[in-house]
Amino acid sequence: MSIHNEAKLGEIAKTVLMPGDPLRAKMIAETYLEDYKLVNEVRGIYAYTGKYKGKEITVMASGMGMPSMGIYCYELYKFYEVENIIRIGSCGAYREELNLLDIILVDNSYNEGNFAKNYSGEECHFISSSSELNGVIEETAKNLNQKYVKCNVATTEVFDPYLPDPLDYAKRLPKEYNILASEMESFALFYTAKILNKKASCLLTVSDSNCKKEELTSEQRLNSLHAMIKLALETACIL
């Protein structure tokens, strides 16, 4: 099927939750899934398929950055007949109204680079998530009484903390897009889904604030995202 994924056809569910970190994928499977099976470990990118409340779901890591996400989501959509991918990750806040551990539902993602041009020759820098899939997430959040912020984010190609001044980067973002936070994968996911006529959404938990100079530890990033994970899992049950 793929040089990057050893799973057999039929071992990947129609809906996939994608954290970046393979260890987070492992934690989700061990914590939430029943009868789960490790179906991929090529390059350490773990994928587990199991059941949550009777619904078959796959949890698979994407790795870090757009090239990695672009490879794995393409193969899931193209070779494994996946219909829905929900990225579940962390992000950095650019606005003071966002607090650590706030949950974000991404509406649109902006990238100033050339992922789309490299892919298809298209000059595209602003891409939407699936309105249909987001609608299911919003209805699920309402039923769970789970608060969230729906907003636009930037997909960066350099990890924010490594920039000389992340807020300088934030200032040059197009003001009309009202971008509140940044992460590193959603643009590639959304654009690939658009090209292949599939559905993609992204849930993020605020792990650091460029305004308030606050951040979660690596251990907190791994273990403090359960509200977001639960929202994604409950959504997957409906799809």
Q: Which residues are catalytic?
A: 208
Yes or no: say if 232 and 84 are a contact pair by the CB < 8 Å rule.
no
Torsion angles phi and psi, residue 120, rounded to 5:
-130, 0
The token pair at 84 is 């829905």
Residues 6+ apart with CB under 8 A from 197: none
Gap between the Cα atoms of 213 and 228, Å rounded: 22
Given a contact cutoff of 8 angstroms between Cβ atoms, the answer to whether 8 and 19 are in contact is: no
Q: Which of 57, 59, 31, 28 is nearest to 45 (CA)?
A: 59
